[in-house]
């Protein structure tokens, strides 16, 4: 297959070669069960303990036993919320935001059907969370607050430290879905003052099928799965040993790389500024400043996102879109709608997300390729005046 | 990633007949930027009612562009009378199939054509309304008439089918109870035809089997063979007919549509109107 310019790293990332190397022994010779008494398994148990320490350091946890290994970000989110409300049975109110990942939103919708009262905190036009609204929504009945660290579609960072401080005083459990922040900005659970925090391995160059939930010491959490003693009974099941080792290695590499994160930001900004200046019908979705350094979400007016993606794909460029058609649903993304992005550009929104493997050459190639694609689709569009080279007035 | 046919990929990569006709005889616009897809169709028609040129402008995804291109290719050089018979299924067939969720793209193509032909005849067509009738889905502006017609033409059975074909019910979902009512009403409709049938003597098992076999051999197989497909009669159990699709039909994405729209429809027409066809894979 031809080389792909992969600009869809918020969807998933390449497994780092060092991570593959670290995992391989556990997929062949070192297959012991970490729970076994014999040293063949016990050695593996020791390796897992080391890996757990690395993952704890990655999120700034004080103790390695505060890390519960899970199978995905979705599982961690579910364990955090379901595990907390199972403990605080008399409290029937949950606060989250309108722009959470489906792993949280779908669960909250289900709990709403079960009789829970859910507050979905709104965002402004730039995708920033309405902090005052969140604070006002908290009451004696609030069982848990679950807010994402950074939004997957726009990259906008939420004020989790302020929320954490506020909730700590109130004594209300705070869960942070940090899936899109891990590896892009430093994470420190003590600065955030959260009791629970979710990460997912495949978003920072570990393989798919491995995630973790940070559970602050003393936090009340009931398991969702029942079985053996693994993860201190909070998430039983024989360990995904290679996955844990891989995620720990990936966490170590990500922390090293955070020192060079400005380079990723420089390339992202080059792409973004290049596209915004090349097309007068393009605009940025999301707050320009308060963002993770790898994400750029751009709305192209008068053309449709899936068509852009298909044309990009033909040129070997992988990106993603918040358009209705690309997702299989019929409405544009819930995030863009919550921000009030007009339909004229929401349907044509494209998310570019970089990784530390993205090169300047790839960004230049994308900048060179986009005009051809956008102009082609504008020519086809009934909302574009080809003679005047401007959009036609649209009566909605 | 959508499972688009090569034809769909070819047509969204290199669509034919893109643009407008400055001196068009008729221009029809359907859909809107709010809905996420829109199509503007331009037709040039000569004195003998032959469509001499067709061009389009489309806002939409790959399959919307491909459906628009397909439509224009299908109608150029044809007589208006002939073109009137084109349905969204013909567009789907031309494209070698569309994913279920993208069926509405073919419906949009058909709507534009229908609107253009109406305008040509001088019938008044209101703007921003796809068809006459009550608007059922307010999110996408889909009318009662359009939903009923698409149900009948595509033999739709569920609300999900309606959403895939027309988008109705795909956003807020508040019209879903109404869609269910429409489905029930449409399912009950052939009742008037049924009465006529009931007065006829019921078929014996042997006679029914003979008729099913004859219809498959003489009517259905020739149609499928045109498309390099074939069909095999596996079993008949009462009014349940079990068949296997062969040749190009066996891996065709719309084999389910073929089964319902062609095989079952023909058997109901020629044998009995409550025959149910099942596919054996």
Of A257, A278, A296, the last residue of a domain is A257
Over residues A277-299, the pLDDT tens digits come to 999 889 999 999 999 999 999 99
Q: Known catalytic residue: B105?
A: yes
| Chain A residues within 8 A of B101 when measuring between CB atoms | 328
In a domain, A233, yes or no: yes
Give which of A382, A385, A386 to mutate to test B binding, by max B Cβ within 10 Å: A382
Task: Give whole-number Cα distances, A379 to A387, B57, B213, in Å.
Answer: 10, 8, 53
In a domain, B39, yes or no: yes
Which pLDDT value is given to residue A325? 63
| Residue A304 to residue B15, Cβ atoms within 8 A | no
- Domain containing residue B44: CATH number: 3.90.1010.10
In a shared domain, residues A227 and A90:
yes
Residue linked to tokens 């600065």? A191
In a shared domain, residues A244 and A280:
no
In a domain, A371, yes or no: yes
In a shared domain, residues A318 and A177:
no
In a domain, A396, yes or no: no
In a domain, B125, yes or no: no
Residue in chain B lying closest to A332 (CA): B36
Helix orientation angle between A73-87 and A102-113, rounded to the nearest 10 degrees: 30
Of B120, B147, B163, the last residue of a domain is B120
In a domain, B126, yes or no: no
Which pLDDT value is given to residue B248? 67
Which pLDDT value is given to residue B107? 87
Over residues B213-241, the pLDDT tens digits come to 888 888 888 888 877 788 888 888 888 89
User: Of the candidates A331, A380, A396, which has its C-beta nearest B15's C-beta?
Assistant: A380
In a shared domain, residues B174 and B205:
no
pLDDT level of residue B123 (50, 70, 90 thresholds): confident
In a domain, B97, yes or no: yes
- Domain containing residue B212: CATH number: 3.30.300.130
In a shared domain, residues B71 and B11:
yes
Greatest alpha-carbon span in chain A: 78
Of A128, A335, A358, the C-alpha closest to A265 is A358
Of A257, A285, A301, the last residue of a domain is A257
Size of interface A-B (CB pairs under 8 A): 79
In a shared domain, residues A296 and A162:
no
How close is the nearest chain A Cα to the Cα of B79, in Å? 26
Please, which residues have CB within 8 angstroms of residue B147's CB and are 6 or more apart in sequence? B136, B162, B166, B168, B179, B182
In a shared domain, residues B185 and B204:
no
In a shared domain, residues B40 and B97:
yes
Of B104, B40, B52, B231, the C-alpha closest to A328 is B104
Which residue range is the domain that position A383 belongs to?
5-11+260-391
| Chain A residues within 8 A of B170 when measuring between CB atoms | 329-331
DSSP A111-150: HHHTT-EEEEE-B-TT--B-HHHHHHH--TTEEEEEEESB
Greatest alpha-carbon span in chain B: 63
The number of folded domains in chain B is: 3
User: Of the candidates B40, B58, B61, which has its C-beta nearest A306's C-beta?
Assistant: B61
Interface residues of chain A, partner chain B, Cβ below 8 Å: 302-307, 310-311, 314, 323-326, 328-332, 343-344, 347, 379-383, 394, 396
How close is the nearest chain B Cα to the Cα of A200, in Å? 23
Which pLDDT value is given to residue A342? 86
In a shared domain, residues A289 and A165:
no
pLDDT level of residue A151 (50, 70, 90 thresholds): very high
In a shared domain, residues A68 and A148:
yes
Instruction: Say which range, A130-134, A391-395, B12-16, has the weakest mean pLDDT.
Output: A391-395
How close is the nearest chain B Cα to the Cα of A331, in Å? 6
Alpha carbon B32 to its chain centroid, in Å, reads: 21
Mapping DSSP to helix (H, G, I), strand (E, B) and coil, where does residue A91 land?
Answer: coil
- Domain containing residue B172: CATH number: 1.10.10.1100
| Dihedral of alpha carbons B84, B90, B95, B101, sign | positive
In a domain, B164, yes or no: yes
Please, which residues have CB within 8 angstroms of residue A170's CB and are 6 or more apart in sequence? A138, A142
User: Of the candidates A311, A324, A383, which has its C-beta nearest B59's C-beta?
Assistant: A383
Over residues A31-74, the pLDDT tens digits come to 999 998 898 988 999 999 999 999 999 999 999 999 999 999 99
Which pLDDT value is given to residue B250? 61
| Chain A residues within 8 A of B33 when measuring between CB atoms | 302, 343-344, 347, 383, 394, 396
Mapping DSSP to helix (H, G, I), strand (E, B) and coil, where does residue A215 land?
Answer: strand
Which residue range is the domain that position B20 belongs to?
6-120
In a domain, A177, yes or no: yes
ipTM, two decimals, is 0.83
The average pLDDT across B65-90 equals 93
Residue linked to tokens 């269910």? B180
Which pLDDT value is given to residue B196? 46
| Residue A383 to residue B38, Cβ atoms within 8 A | yes
- Domain containing residue A167: CATH number: 3.40.640.10
In a domain, B129, yes or no: no
Which DSSP symbol is given to B277? E
Q: Say how far apart CA A154 and CA B126 lie, in whole Å.
A: 39
| Chain A residues within 8 A of B65 when measuring between CB atoms | 307, 380
In a domain, A367, yes or no: yes
DSSP B59-73: ES-HHHHHHHHHHHH
Q: Say how far apart CA A315 and CA A326 lie, in whole Å.
A: 18
Of A211, A231, A257, the last residue of a domain is A257
Q: What is the mean pLDDT of chain B?
A: 84
| Chain B residues within 8 A of A393 when measuring between CB atoms | none
Which pLDDT value is given to residue A391? 85
In a domain, A354, yes or no: yes
How close is the nearest chain A Cα to the Cα of B200, in Å? 47
Q: Which two tokens stand for residue A331?
A: 């409405």
Do A158 and A129 touch, CB atoms closer than 8 A?
yes
User: Of the candidates A307, A311, A314, which has its C-beta nearest B60's C-beta?
Assistant: A307
Over residues B14-68, the pLDDT tens digits come to 999 999 999 999 999 988 777 788 999 999 999 999 999 999 999 998 999 999 9
In a shared domain, residues A57 and A144:
yes
Q: Is B80 exposed, middle or buried (0-12, 13-18, 19+ CB in 10 A)?
A: middle
Strand B51-59 and strand B240-247: pairing?
unpaired
| Residue B39 to residue A380, Cβ atoms within 8 A | no
Do A11 and A204 touch, CB atoms closer than 8 A?
no
The number of folded domains in chain A is: 2
How close is the nearest chain A Cα to the Cα of B56, in Å? 8
């Amino acid at each position: 297959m031809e080389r792909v310019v992969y600009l869809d790293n918020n969807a998933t990332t390449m497994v780092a070669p060092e991570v593959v190397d670290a995992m391989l022994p556990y997929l062949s010779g070192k297959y012991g069960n970490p729970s076994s008494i014999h040293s063949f398994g016990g050695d593996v148990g020791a390796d897992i303990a080391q890996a757990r320490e690395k993952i704890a350091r990655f999120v700034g946890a004080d103790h390695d036993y505060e890390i519960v290994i899970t199978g995905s970000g979705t599982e961690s989110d579910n364990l955090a919320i379901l595990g907390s409300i199972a403990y605080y049975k008399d409290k029937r109110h949950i606060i989250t935001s309108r722009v959470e990942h489906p792993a949280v939103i779908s669960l909250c919708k289900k709990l709403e059907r079960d009789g829970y009262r859910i507050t979905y905190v709104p965002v402004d036009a730039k995708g920033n969370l309405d902090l005052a609204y969140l604070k006002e929504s908290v009451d004696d009945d609030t069982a848990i607050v679950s807010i994402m660290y950074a939004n997957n579609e726009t990259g906008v960072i939420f004020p989790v430290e302020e929320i954490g401080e506020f909730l700590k005083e109130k004594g209300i459990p705070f869960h942070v879905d940090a899936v899109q922040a891990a590896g892009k900005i430093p994470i420190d659970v003590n600065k955030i003052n959260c009791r629970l925090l979710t990460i997912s391995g495949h978003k920072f160059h570990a393989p798919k099928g491995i995630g973790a939930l940070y559970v602050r010491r003393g936090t009340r959490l009931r398991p969702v799965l029942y079985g053996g003693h693994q993860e201190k009974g909070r998430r039983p099941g024989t360990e995904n040993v290679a996955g844990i080792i891989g995620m720990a290695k990936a966490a170590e590499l990500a922390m090293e790389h955070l020192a060079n994160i400005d380079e990723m930001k420089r390339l992202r900004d080059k792409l973004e500024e290049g596209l915004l200046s090349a097309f007068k019908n393009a605009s940025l979705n999301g707050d320009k400043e308060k963002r993770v350094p790898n994400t750029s979400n751009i709305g192209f007016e008068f053309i449709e996102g899936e068509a852009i993606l298909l044309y990009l794909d033909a040129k070997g460029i992988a990106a993603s879109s918040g358009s209705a058609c690309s997702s299989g649903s019929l409405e544009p993304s819930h995030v863009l709608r919550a921000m009030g992005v007009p339909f004229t550009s929401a349907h044509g929104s494209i998310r570019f997300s970089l990784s530390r493997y993205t090169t300047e050459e790839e960004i230049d190639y994308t900048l060179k390729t986009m005009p051809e694609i956008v102009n082609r689709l504008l020519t086809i569009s009934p909302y574009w005046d080809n003679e005047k080279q401007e959009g036609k007035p649209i009566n909605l | 990633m959508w499972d688009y046919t090569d034809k769909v990929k070819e047509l969204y990569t290199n669509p034919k007949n893109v643009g407008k006709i400055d001196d068009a005889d008729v221009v029809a616009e359907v859909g809107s930027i709010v809905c996420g897809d829109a199509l503007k169709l331009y037709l040039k028609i000569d004195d003998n009612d032959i469509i001499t040129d067709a061009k389009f402008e489309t806002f939409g995804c790959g399959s919307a562009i491909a459906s628009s291109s397909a439509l224009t290719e299908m109608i150029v050089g044809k007589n208006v009378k002939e073109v009137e018979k084109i349905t969204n299924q013909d567009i789907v067939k031309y494209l070698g199939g569309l994913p279920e969720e993208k069926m509405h793209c073919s419906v949009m193509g058909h709507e534009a054509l229908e609107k253009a032909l109406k305008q040509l005849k001088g019938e008044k067509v209101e703007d921003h309304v796809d068809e006459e009738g009550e608007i059922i889905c307010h999110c996408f502006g889909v009318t009662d008439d359009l939903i009923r017609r698409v149900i009948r033409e595509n033999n739709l059975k569920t609300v999900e089918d309606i959403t895939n074909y027309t988008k109705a019910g795909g956003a807020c979902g508040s019209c879903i109870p109404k869609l269910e009512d429409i489905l029930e009403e449409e399912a009950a409709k052939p009742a008037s035809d049924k009465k006529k049938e009931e007065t006829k003597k019921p078929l014996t098992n042997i006679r029914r089997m003979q008729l099913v076999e004859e219809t498959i051999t003489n009517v259905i197989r020739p149609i499928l063979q045109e498309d390099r497909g074939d069909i095999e009669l596996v079993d008949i159990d009462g009014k349940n007919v079990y068949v296997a699709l062969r040749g190009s039909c066996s891996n065709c994405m719309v084999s389910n549509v073929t089964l319902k729209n062609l095989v079952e429809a023909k058997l109901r027409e020629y044998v009995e109107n409550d025959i149910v066809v099942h596919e054996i894979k």
